């Protein structure tokens, strides 16, 4: 990010977005929504790289769609600017494997806490975030994604949790039925269907 740009919240890593939002503020619930296979997780991992890897800010990531191994593999690919398929299929050159080794060393020292429990309840997720905030000093949490979490009024519950802990919570969601989400979230970002790299704030 341009060092001349001043923001009050946690930087997302997307400079234009941070100029608009001022970063992610304490107590906010931010929803990143799109239709399936558009790139919500990739965008979230871009943010995780900036927040946890580059800035060493303690971060929690609840991955209900991908395993811990898949998520770390995606994060390494993101960090090294290589395709994840090349890592999985042993399709890298020697210099690229060296970058992978360096990335793994960096990630070992990164304050990132990943939980890949499948279909957890909102109460279970909330309890884990509280413990991570208390014991590890987590400053932001990601939930990937809303429809795979069991319970009613999840956004309302997460908003109450964000206010209690004074941390931002980023929730990935399918774009269907956004009306009930918009009324409770502080920010809703729709991933542009024509470009995975463009975010539109609503």
What is the sign of the dihedral through the CA atoms of 44, 49, 51 and 56? positive
Q: Does domain 15-201 have CATH number 3.50.50.100?
A: no
Q: 62: which residues sit within 8 A by CB, 6+ positions away?
A: 114, 115, 116, 117, 120, 125, 128, 141, 142, 143, 144
Distance CA 99, CA 193 (A): 32
Give residue 175's pLDDT.
Answer: 84
Give residue 202's pLDDT.
Answer: 42
Average confidence (pLDDT) per 10 residues, the chain, 202 residues? 72 90 94 86 91 94 88 82 69 75 85 93 96 97 91 91 97 82 88 57 44
| Burial of residue 85 (number of CB atoms within 10 Å: 0-12, 13-18, 19+) | exposed
- Domains of the chain, by residue range, sit at 15-201
Give residue 195's pLDDT.
Answer: 45
- pTM of the complete model: 0.88
Q: Which of 102, 59, 62, 65 is nearest to 81 (CA)?
A: 102
Give residue 199's pLDDT.
Answer: 53
Cα–Cα distances (Å) from 154 to 72, 146, 184, in that order, read: 26, 8, 10
């Amino acid at each position: 990010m341009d060092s001349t740009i001043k923001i009050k919240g946690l930087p997302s890593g997307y400079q234009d977005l941070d100029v608009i939002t001022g970063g992610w503020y304490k107590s906010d619930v931010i929803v990143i929504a799109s239709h399936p296979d558009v790139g919500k997780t990739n965008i979230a991992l871009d943010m995780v790289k900036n927040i946890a890897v580059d800035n060493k800010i303690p971060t929690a990531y609840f991955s209900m769609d991908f395993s811990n191994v898949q998520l770390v593999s995606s994060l390494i690919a993101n960090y090294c600017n290589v395709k994840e398929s090349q890592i999985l299929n042993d399709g890298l050159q020697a210099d690229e494997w060296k970058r992978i080794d360096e990335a793994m060393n960096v990630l070992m020292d990164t304050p990132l806490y990943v939980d890949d429990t499948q279909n957890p309840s909102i109460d279970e997720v909330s309890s884990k975030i509280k413990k991570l905030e208390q014991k590890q000093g987590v400053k932001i949490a990601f939930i990937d994604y809303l429809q795979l979490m069991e319970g009613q009024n999840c956004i309302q519950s997460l908003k109450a949790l964000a206010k209690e802990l004074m941390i931002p919570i980023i929730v990935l969601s399918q774009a269907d039925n956004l009306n009930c989400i918009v009324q409770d979230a502080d920010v809703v970002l729709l991933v542009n269907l024509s470009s995975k790299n463009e975010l539109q704030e609503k």
